[in-house]
Amino acid sequence: MNELIPLMVIVPLIAALLISTISRFNTVTKVFTFVVALCLPLIPILSNYGLHYFGGYEPMLDTVSGVIYHPAITYSFTFLQQIFIGAVGLLTFLVVFIYLTKYKKVSGPYLFLLFLGTAAVTAMMLTDDIFHMFVFFEILALAQVGIVAASSIDYSYEMALKYMVLGSIGSPIMLLGIGFLLALTGSVNVTDIAVAVHNGLVDVTSPVFLLSLALIFFGWLYASGLPPFHTIKSGIYSKAEPHGAALLQSFTVISMISIVMIMFRIYASLPIFEVLIVFFSILAMILGVSLALTQTDFRRMIGFLAVGELGFIGLGIGLGTNFSITAGLFQALNEIIITALLFIGFGAIVNATNEVDTRKLGGLLAYHPKVAIMLLIAGLAMAGVPPLSGFQSKLMLVQASLSCGFPEISILAIMVSIATFVVFVKTYYTMFLKPKPNDLNLEGKEVPKAMIFAMAVLLIIVVLLGIFPDMATGGISNFVGGIL
């Protein structure tokens, strides 16, 4: 059913608008939101792979140049889109479920922002049009800022404005890069641009083409939260509600891979492109884990760890082989699931203790054993401990860098994984195993069941992907083979 492809964007978009309209009817809004959120992971599962041409405008032949071009926006739906849109749909459902059970009176604008963000990343993942991607990239930035500002955490407005200001500088710079590509090729369709580049219609050594790479790359760094934007990215995670942060990090990962795959198709012929990606990825890995070590606010700590994990994704894509890109994309999928699990788990602790400073916590294992065990497994998965999903993707990345002739990168990846393990164990010990401080009152404070349910669902996926990685890697590898 190819008709379902545009519905993946339209459903959350229309739902967002409707929810903000009907939000004064609390029960109706809750039921409607739940039903729509449940549909989000189902639509990509039910849809067939294929292309959708908006307005029915199929590719046409330019009789003058003899080149086939795309006159309208095209959505491309393959296994890669299915797995990532399915993952973000599932996450949206779980986050909405947590939100609906946590609050008696729901906020229409907040739910609007959650669905708007989901629609934006879905469109970014599907689109074959670089300007369309930019439009939803901007919409996503607005949704992210809204989600942060809507939280009741101190200084969330400040962080939201900071993110918005940086984004408003990064976005036009990216648009300028798209403008240069338009000037060179006369198109904003990625397939058309890639064909023009590979057929030699564009001089890849021209300063304009290189400048377009630099400008779009800058926008990608902002979207991904790679250095120099790592601090602001981890900052917005720490200023959002924990379940909101779980969704925000998935938005980051998906916008990262959707933009980088577009760039890969256009600029893969430039050796500098892969060098740039690997350089910034390694920087993110080192900075992410180093800064995580120094944090006492555990939300900020996960934020920096998430940035470090983004480096692993970039590393895989930057190495540029079929196996390494597959590993990078598999790592992206794992990062979405594992980091969401960590944010929700630590959010459960915030819910039970009203405390985010690890120095003021302790002895939580006795009071919240289910959360403690699930968080332990999630942390081990992030650090790359077998047989969990994080181990499989990191093992693939180490193998990929070895096979590409970069043993030093393999060693670095292993060292960063060990450092991640140290950061997590240190925090885990402080919060769960250390004796409880006398002034910490934990009696009668329960963790919401919805959070436990969400964590359990995500944990099952982490274990399943760890034991059967081929469920994801086989399809991803076929997709990557098609691109290469």
Partner 1 sequence: MIMVQIVILMTSAALIVIGLYSAIFIDNIIKKIIGISFIEEGVNLFIVTLGYKAGGVVPILMPGMDPAWFAANAAAPLPFGLVLTSIVIGASTLAVMLALVMVLYRRYHTLSTKVMLADTSKREEYDE
Note whether 176 binds partner 1 by CB under 8 A. Answer: yes
Note whether 190 binds partner 1 by CB under 8 A. Answer: no
Which member of 6, 179, 363, 448 binds partner 1 (CB under 8 A)? 179
Taking the least distance from each CB to partner 1, the nearer of 170 and 390 is: 170
Note whether 158 binds partner 1 by CB under 8 A. Answer: yes
Pick out residues in 75-134 that bind partner 1 (CB under 8 A).
Answer: 131
Note whether 135 binds partner 1 by CB under 8 A. Answer: yes
DSSP secondary structure string, 338-356? HHHHHHHHHHHHHHHHS--
Q: Is the peptide bond before 228 cis (omega within 30 degrees of 0)?
A: yes
- Choose the binding region for partner 1 from 88-96, 104-112, 158-166, 463-471 (rule: CB under 8 A): 158-166
- Choose the binding region for partner 1 from 101-109, 164-172, 322-330, 432-440 (rule: CB under 8 A): 164-172
Other beta carbons within 10 angstroms of residue 86's beta carbon come to: 18
For residues 84 and 257, is the Cβ–Cβ distance under 8 A? yes
Q: How far is the CB of 186 from partner 1 (least distance, A)?
A: 7
Q: Which residue has the tokens 């924990």?
A: 242
Q: How far is the CB of 96 from partner 1 (least distance, A)?
A: 23
Q: Both tokens of residue 184?
A: 């060179």
Q: How far is the CB of 164 from partner 1 (least distance, A)?
A: 5
Closest CA to 96 of 81, 82, 110: 110
Distance CA 399, CA 24 (A): 55
Radius of gyration of the chain (CA): 22
User: What are the φ/ψ torsions at residue 430 (nearest 5 degrees)?
Assistant: -60, -40
Note whether 169 binds partner 1 by CB under 8 A. Answer: yes
Note whether 142 binds partner 1 by CB under 8 A. Answer: yes
- Choose the binding region for partner 1 from 168-176, 266-274, 281-289, 460-468 (rule: CB under 8 A): 168-176
Q: In this structure, which amino acid lies at residue 372?
A: A
Taking the least distance from each CB to partner 1, the nearer of 162 and 230 is: 162
Provide the greatest CA pair distance for the chain: 81
Note whether 294 binds partner 1 by CB under 8 A. Answer: no
For residues 222 and 166, is the Cβ–Cβ distance under 8 A? yes
Closest CA to 135 of 149, 118, 147, 123: 123
Taking the least distance from each CB to partner 1, the nearer of 235 and 384 is: 235
Note whether 433 binds partner 1 by CB under 8 A. Answer: no
Distance CA 207, CA 188 (A): 19
Total number of residues binding partner 1 (CB under 8 A)? 35
Residue numbers at the binding site for partner 1 (CB under 8 A): 131, 135, 138-139, 141-142, 145-146, 149, 154-155, 157-162, 164-165, 167-169, 171-173, 175-176, 179, 182-183, 186-188, 235, 239
